[in-house]
Structure 1
Amino acid sequence: MALAVSDCQQLQDNQFRFGLFIKQRCGSILPVTELLTAPYGRVPVMNRLPSLFLSHGAPTLPIDPSLPSAEFGALSAQLPRPEAVLMLSAHWGTAQPVVSTSTAPDTIHDFYGFPRQLYEIQYPAPGAPDVAQRAAVLLGDSGIRTDAQPHGLDHGAWVPMLLMFPDADVPVAQLSIQPHLDAGHHFRVGRALRSLREQGVMVIGSGQITHNLRAADFSARPEDADPRVAEFTDWFEARLAARDIDALLDYRRQAPHAVLMHPTDEHLLPVFAALGAADDDYLLTIQSLGTYQRSLAMTNYVFRTA
């Protein structure tokens, strides 16, 4: 089933009635059952890989059946398999970019008060120090000073990796974000890393498309979402579809309810790195997984080669 552009908003407004849909460029919309046969999933790995932004949700995503964990695997199955991943997580922030050089990164349980079984999860993926080194060189060539340290994988990294690559057989390196710097800085970081996509490396930003924990209601149902969440995400996704980079980088001034959706913007900064790593004429795929706890939208973006 494919829907015209004019039907996009209606479907978005009724996403819970229709179930999970993946929206390609907001005009060609496929249910998951059709997406499983979509041809772009068969692209050879050595072609330019897509860059991704993932809303990693709560740490309980791997163990809570009420959360959309399986959809991450469905998305991964339709993407070319990377030789390695370079991950930028909202949960590792430093004054300047730092690459992780660990050959066997630890699984960091950087959260408190959750069920014991969550702390028992290990994600023993190999590190990718060679990717970290290449990233540092590319950033340096772009005038962005970078440090290195043997950092482990925080939950913003290992939770989506576990759901997308459960066998832990894809090497992964992390690159820190700079919470005190703006969207433009992170876009430039992504732009410096763009050529990694031609070398079998998938650049992934992991955060949350809306993230205001003070406004969250942990007893709310998905249909109880604050309508302002959709107003913000609709604006953001329309600008992504139009490739309106200037407006996106100025989102805190231009987007409706921007400061409410992101009182601090560390959970949105990774999307700008993924956007910077994308081609100028990228094709956008939107995987909308609903809004949880009233204010936390779960949406993933794939920036593919045209």
Structure 2
Amino acid sequence: MMPSFFIAHGAPLLAIEDNEYTQFLTELGKTMPRPKAIVLFSAHWESPVQKVSNVETYSTIYDFGGFPEALYRIQYPAQGDNQVAKEIEELFTEQDILYEAETRRGLDHGAWVVLRLLYPEADVPVIAMSVNPRLTPEEQYKIGKSLAKLREQDILIVGSGGTVHNLGAVKMMSDHGEIDDWALDFDEWLARHLKNWDLASLFQYNTLAPTARLAVPPYGNEHFIPIFYAMGAADDERKAELIHRSYRYGNLSHSVWQFGS
């Protein structure tokens, strides 16, 4: 049974950096079982209706500005997988989840930064998925849960975002290892409830978690919610393990959660 993951994609600079976190993701890609395909929910693809990519070869989207030229030269020409995309559509139909097929959109940096560190050769098929911040956490979890059967076929399900992601609070010019207390407080609360699979509390994180409005600002919850899609995909096992956590710029979290075996 393939686990599902929530993986922080951090700042775009990760794509050209060599640090503790990039080394961890590179090693993770080498050591975990090689998936048949990857289904990835990206915080940088929002849609009011669930989108399912059915693309032959993805283009690379540079959905950021003001970064070094080297970032804009990166290509990640992953292939799609028509069969897996169609199976996802069938699973959504069975669960009465509305969806639309997407046949043109490329991979945004929430997808390709993570994928390139895990599988630098772009040799694992990818099905890109949108997220909808306007849904309730219960609804986001249900979408992930509807895909749980894919894990039995060695298909990796990933939610890409960030547990603490507040662009108004990050200190891009200060990267000396200091961590803001409020970021740690939120992540520690989250860890306790994830490990206990406490859905009742997690679904109300915005009112129950300390400093939630700083860690997950209402205008930026799209980076947090991929955790519910990834978690739902492992509902049959209900096992959560924090396998990496570090921080950059004072409070930008690089958390990796593994759900399931």
Residue 161 (structure 2) aligns with:
207
The one-letter code of the counterpart of 1:124 is P
Runs in 1 of length 4+ with deviation above 6 angstroms?
none
CA root-mean-square deviation: 1.3
Q: Decide which of 235, 238, 256 is 1:282's aligned counterpart.
A: 238
How far apart, in 1, do the equivalents of 2:40 and 2:200 lie?
24
- SS of corresponding position for 1:281: coil
Give yes or no for contact 1:54–1:206 (8 Å, CA) kept in 2: yes
- The answer for unaligned runs of 5 or more in structure 2 is none
How far apart, in 1, do the equivalents of 2:102 and 2:140 lie?
20
Percent identity over paired residues: 37
Q: Deviations over 1:270-294 (max 9, x none)?
A: 1000000004433332133411111
Q: Deviations over 1:178-225 (max 9, x none)?
A: 122221111010011111111221110000111101011112235321
Q: Decide which of 264, 271, 295 is 2:227's aligned counterpart.
A: 271
Residue 102 (structure 1) aligns with:
55
State the Cα distance separating 1:175 from its structure 2 match.
Answer: 1.1
Listed as ranges, the matches of 1:83-122 within 5 Å are 83-122=36-75
TM-score, structure 2 as length reference: 0.95
Give yes or no for contact 2:145–2:235 (8 Å, CA) kept in 1: no
How far apart, in 1, do the equivalents of 2:84 and 2:176 lie?
39
Q: Deviations over 1:50-71 (max 9, x none)?
A: 0000000111102123562111
TM-score, structure 1 as length reference: 0.81
Residue 242 (structure 1) aligns with:
196
Listed as ranges, the matches of 1:46-195 within 5 Å are 48-66=1-19, 68-150=21-103, 151-195=105-149
Q: Decide which of 210, 215, 218 is 1:261's aligned counterpart.
A: 215
- The answer for unaligned runs of 5 or more in structure 1 is 1-47
Rg bigger for which structure? 1
How far apart, in 2, do the equivalents of 1:227 and 1:202 lie?
33
2:180 is the counterpart of 1:226:
yes
The one-letter code of the counterpart of 1:259 is R
Residue 303 (structure 1) aligns with:
259
- SS of corresponding position for 1:92: strand
How far apart, in 2, do the equivalents of 1:67 and 1:90 lie?
23
How far apart, in 2, do the equivalents of 1:132 and 1:269 lie?
22
